[in-house]
Amino acid sequence: MKKYSSYLIVGLSVVALAFSTGSFIKVNAATEQTVAGQPVDLTYASQKALPAVVHIKYVQNSKVQTVEVQSDPFSDFFSDPFGFFGNPQGNGGKQKRKIQTPKREATGSGVIISTDGYIVTNNHVVNGADELTVTLNDNREFNARIIGTDPTTDLALIKVDGKNLPTLPIGDSDKLKVGEWVIAVGNPFGLNNTVTAGIVSAKARGLGGQSDGPNISSFIQTDAAINPGNSGGALVNSQGELVGINAMLYSPTGSYTGYGFAIPTTIMNKVVEDLKKYGTVQRAVLGITGGDVLNYINQQKEAGKEVDLGTNEGVYVDKVEDGSAASAAGLEKGDVIVSIDGKNISKMAECQEIMSSKRPGDKVTLTWLHNKKKQTKTVTVKNAQGNTNVVKIADLDVLGSKVIPVSNELKKQLDISYGLQVKDVKSGAFKDAGISDGFIILTANDQQMKEISDLQKAVKEASTSKNPVLFITGIWPSGKTDYKAVRVGE
């Protein structure tokens, strides 16, 4: 989708797949094991995946923005009351100017995960979009709206109004094995419905923490060709199951010459569920800082120190936050986490992947080494604020209707320059507040409603405030001005 800022890792550029690719080969649908030494047939997986992978067109309309620019350094020496020189009277320094941004268009990919039109894609594919158009494999087109986004994992959930849409069954990425065949399906370089094939090159690959990329550290690495445009497309196993969402490529050129990276379904499932239910992702943290045990041992060796932690695998604990789950368990600096909920942990990426499936208030069983002696305790994990509260952010679904930009004809008729018109009101917040079809929203909580994204932002901000109400000023098609208070949260 849109060009994601590339960033360097060990000399290679990691490029978010603003545009994706795919590849394929299959095993018998009923056979989960391939025969050693025999070719793998991925045609079954391709046939399952292609109808469910969509092309996404992103449009960001031209906008007027106010920016600060450096004024003429000589303006302090004379007065320019009429602004002939583009500066206010002799104040020098910086001044604000309005600029017109160009219209932007880009493309990416997405995966239909429900017959009623929920689609998973990357956050960088849809972030900032004013219009999203989804095209299916059979060339049907739909307008899409954003249900929720999560920049941390670079995932987004969007929806189209459709019925009986083709879907891709979701597989368990935990069951993937290094060396297993997979296909990548998407729309690279504008080449729609493209499939490429490769193997799983590594699991729980850590590439997170970059300033301009997602902070996810547990990618599936594959050598299936992935290119710009594949962003948000499907990584599929030989049984035709979705096991990852293609997100990045690892390349010295910005196009495929190296490896691609996909977000595993173990992470995707939790993000999608949270976005549907809460509008935002509920994250639980252990409350530690640290890293891979092997990295710590090597660092100590470079410093001329020998350490014996009782293991060469696990997560070395460098710091424990007060009041955290780790603190409640009794972890201390120098301990090594070796297992969570009975699953062995060999590195930090594996720990982060398990924690990404947890919500504040969940119980986890930690096993760690303290002075090389194993200890186990079950504790309640908390959020980053140190509590177990659930954060809810409402989406437009809570309003129980659709909204569309007001037509030019109606603008002229009512002598207004902007607004969002309500249509198809069903049960929901609008109906409860006495808003029906035709009502035009001019402002919500004192913000002008020019684009649908303006209302989405207002709803989300209101839903997380102490008083989750939208105070709306609007006008009926008759010309009558009206004021409504719409409750968007509990």
Of 264, 168, 184, whose CA–CA distance to 227 is shortest? 184
344 and 337 in contact (C-beta within 8 Å)? no
- Which residue bears the tokens 């268009």? 105
Between CA 158 and CA 279 the distance in angstroms is 12
Of 20, 30, 46, whose CA–CA distance to 106 is shortest? 20
In 242-287, alpha helices (H): 265-277
236 and 49 in contact (C-beta within 8 Å)? yes
Letter for the amino acid at 235? L
370 is catalytic: no
Half-sphere exposure of 450 (CA within 13 A, CB side): 8
CA distances from 231 to 26, 186, 312 (A): 23, 8, 36
Between CA 478 and CA 336 the distance in angstroms is 70
Between CA 437 and CA 424 the distance in angstroms is 6
Tell me, what DSSP letter sits at residue 2? Answer: P
Between CA 262 and CA 330 the distance in angstroms is 35
Between CA 10 and CA 283 the distance in angstroms is 30
- Which residue bears the tokens 């190296």? 258
Exactly one of 20, 109, 154, 356 is catalytic; name it.
154
Exactly one of 23, 46, 231, 356 is catalytic; name it.
231
With residues binned 3-state (H G I as helix, E B as strand, rest as coil), the percentages for the chain, rounded to 5, are 20, 35, 45
Between CA 170 and CA 265 the distance in angstroms is 7
463 and 455 in contact (C-beta within 8 Å)? no
Exactly one of 71, 75, 124, 223 is catalytic; name it.
124
Q: Give the three-state DSSP class for 134.
A: strand
154 is catalytic: yes
Between CA 417 and CA 408 the distance in angstroms is 8
219 and 248 in contact (C-beta within 8 Å)? yes
Between CA 44 and CA 41 the distance in angstroms is 7
CA distances from 50 to 195, 261, 417, 425 (A): 8, 20, 43, 35
List, in sequence order, every beta strand (DSSP E) within 418-490. 420-423, 440-444, 447-448, 469-475, 481-487
55 is catalytic: no
Between CA 290 and CA 333 the distance in angstroms is 9
Active centre residues (catalytic): 124, 154, 231
